[in-house]
Chains A and B, each alone.
Chain A
Amino acid sequence: MKRMRKSMNWLAVTVALILFVPAAKAQSQNPLSDPEIASVAVTANQIDVDYGQLALKKSHNADIRKFAETMISDHKNIIQQAAALAQRLHVTPKTNAMTQSLLNGETTTMKTLKAKSGTAFDKAYAQNEAAYHEAVVGAVKTKLIPETQNAELKGLLQSVVPLLEHHTMMAKELASKF
């Protein structure tokens, strides 16, 4: 049991590192352009939709399923708004190093989550959601918002922060049940 708890903690730490290190590295490099920020925003939201869809496939736990449904619905909603805004502003999302590191992180996490089942999966999913949202909130606040040039795109990112913070709290509460 102790061993399992240790491995779960390592999973959370690994996820945080996968997200934070490339983000921190990118921060020291050139600032992102608005099309690059749009790409990061859409990708980060889509990744959480993907995690939610995996949870609906694998979990029978009512709390996990309800949380996953909320994540899918909320993040799809943000993607739609970001896409509509990008279209209106004639901004085409542009893939960049940060987008790629998010996708690499998703591949690694998906592999780990897919290898688990039952309560082990539920716990790992909830812990990953807490770590992932925490990392994304950090990146949005310290990198994406400060580097965004367009006022409307900046406004959308700012309005998303409270939602991501509540998702983090909800995920932590969920993880504490396992």
Chain B
Amino acid sequence: MKKFFQIVAVCFSGCLILAGCNNGSNSSTVENSGPQRDTVIIKLMAFTPDTLTVNKGDTVVWINQDIVAHDVSHFPDRAWHSDTLNPQNVFVKVIDDSSSYFCSIHPTMRATVLLKK
């Protein structure tokens, strides 16, 4: 009887481990195949990270955590740009191409988004 319970316990934990592995690999497959979301923090007059590498179709979220207003504008022609981002405002963009960008309010602030090759 004792042996029977031991076998049941081993089978049960084995099933749990297998389920866990399976679940883990499934979720990692989903994460790798779908669009990702990356974040750029605007703080102390800088975009961090200043170079971000993403896959085509990924989403980038810029969060203004600085003490003054900024914007996010394609460099140099503002072909795409956010509205003015007051402190704590957020700008979201799906990335289709590599581009340099800057803050048109403070043009000395510059950064880059690159597409993975």
A residues touching B (Cβ–Cβ < 8 Å)?
70, 73-74, 77-78, 81, 159-160, 162-163, 165-166, 169-170, 173
Is B93 in the interface zone, CB < 8 Å from A? no
- Further pairs besides A162-B45, A163-B68, A166-B45: 12, Cβ < 8 Å: A73-B68, A74-B68, A77-B69, A78-B68, A159-B44, A160-B67, A162-B46, A163-B67, A165-B45, A169-B108, A173-B107, A173-B108
Is B106 in the interface zone, CB < 8 Å from A? yes
Taking a contact as CB atoms under 8 Å apart, the answer to whether A78 and B45 are in contact is no
Q: Identify the 8 closest CB pairs spanning chains A and B, nearest first.
A: A162-B45, A162-B44, A169-B108, A74-B68, A166-B45, A166-B108, A77-B68, A166-B106
Taking a contact as CB atoms under 8 Å apart, the answer to whether B45 and A170 are in contact is no
Bound CA–CA A95/B4 (angstroms): 87
* Chain B positions within 8 Å of A73 at CB level: 68-69
How many chain B residues touch A (Cβ–Cβ < 8 Å)? Answer: 11
Task: Give, as a whole number of angstroms, the nearest-CB distance from A153 to chain B.
Answer: 14
Is B105 in the interface zone, CB < 8 Å from A? yes
Is B114 in the interface zone, CB < 8 Å from A? no
Task: Give, as a whole number of angstroms, the nearest-CB distance from B46 to chain A.
Answer: 7
* Chain B positions within 8 Å of A74 at CB level: 68-69
Most buried by A among B44, B45, B106: B45
